[in-house]
Amino acid sequence: MSEILIKVVINGLLMGGIYALISLGLTLIFGVVRIVNFAHGEFLMLSMYASYWLFQLWGIDPYVSVLIIAPLFFVFGMIVQRGIFQPILNAPEVSKIFAAIGLVMVLQNLALLFWKGDYRAIKTISSGLLIGPEGFMIGLPRFIAFLAAVSIMLGLYFFIKNTYTGKAIRATGQDQGAALLMGINTKRIFLIAFGIGSSCVGIAGCLLMPIYSVFPTVGAYFVLVAFVIVVLGGLGSMLGAFIGGLIIGLVEALSGYFISSTYKEAIYFIIFWFLLIYKPTGLFGSVSQE
């Protein structure tokens, strides 16, 4: 394997880690609340803008702004769940879809109103730094984002498996009716799950700012990738979201190397199409009514 190909593989895995972090929140929200949050990409866009303005106005590094944005987006997610999705949880699925798409339109247009359609980027101390041995050096921001994705996935896994609230989240995701009978406040669990999912995407936005520009429709690209990853890994599976993110990152990098970067989206959407036909439950998903 040539040096260039090894670097392509490494960069694909690192990018896959970022995709996985975005998808982690999406799959958690679906797994517990049973809502496909089409506005997930717009949450990412808002977190990127928040990180951008914290840097521009007060010089707060995006990696430090995680400490501000993560709790803010936890609260923001809870407000969205309580104000928009909670009242329609028992409504037909189409009502939930239209509510999410309506939220997409509102957030995108608010971003256009306040910040116009300009591409905005920041340059931090770490933006141009490279690490690693000679010939295999990688960008520090991508490496940090990958480590953060792994750490958050492991932290969430420990939280879900070993804490009372985590077990309540698992129980609610498995059977809401049975969870209610066991004395679990499912409405509170929905708020917590939506808050955690939103916090994950808020962190992802901070980690993306040293790498990408932000503009009002930036979330549309990332949410499409996230949906492919969630379907690949299995709806509701956090491990599946992480593994799926790595796979899509690799597919994207290798298709750009062997074919053309122009067709990378087409290639993983072909994978998406085959999955929907032959294995709609994904790698780690299970059969459910949804």
> 272 near 252, Cβ under 8 Å?
no
Give the number of domains in the chain. Answer: 1
Q: Does 84 reside within a domain?
A: yes
- Kindly state the average pLDDT of the residues 63-67: 93
Name the more confident of 289 and 153.
153
Q: What percentage of the chain reaches a pLDDT higher than 90?
A: 36
What CATH number is attached to the domain comprising 140?
A: 1.10.3470
Whole-model pTM?
Answer: 0.91
Q: Does 283 reside within a domain?
A: no
- Kindly state the average pLDDT of the residues 26-53: 91
| Rounded Cα gap, residues 29 and 236, in angstroms | 8
Q: Does 288 reside within a domain?
A: no
Residue-range definition of the domain harbouring residue 172 = 3-278
Q: Does 183 reside within a domain?
A: yes
Q: Does 102 reside within a domain?
A: yes
Q: Does 74 reside within a domain?
A: yes
- pLDDT confidence of 285, banded at 50, 70, 90? low
| Rounded Cα gap, residues 113 and 117, in angstroms | 9
Q: Does 247 reside within a domain?
A: yes
Q: What is the pLDDT of residue 289?
A: 45
| Rounded Cα gap, residues 76 and 69, in angstroms | 10
Q: Does 289 reside within a domain?
A: no
- pLDDT confidence of 64, banded at 50, 70, 90? very high
Would the pLDDT of 171 be above 80?
yes
Q: What is the pLDDT of residue 135?
A: 65
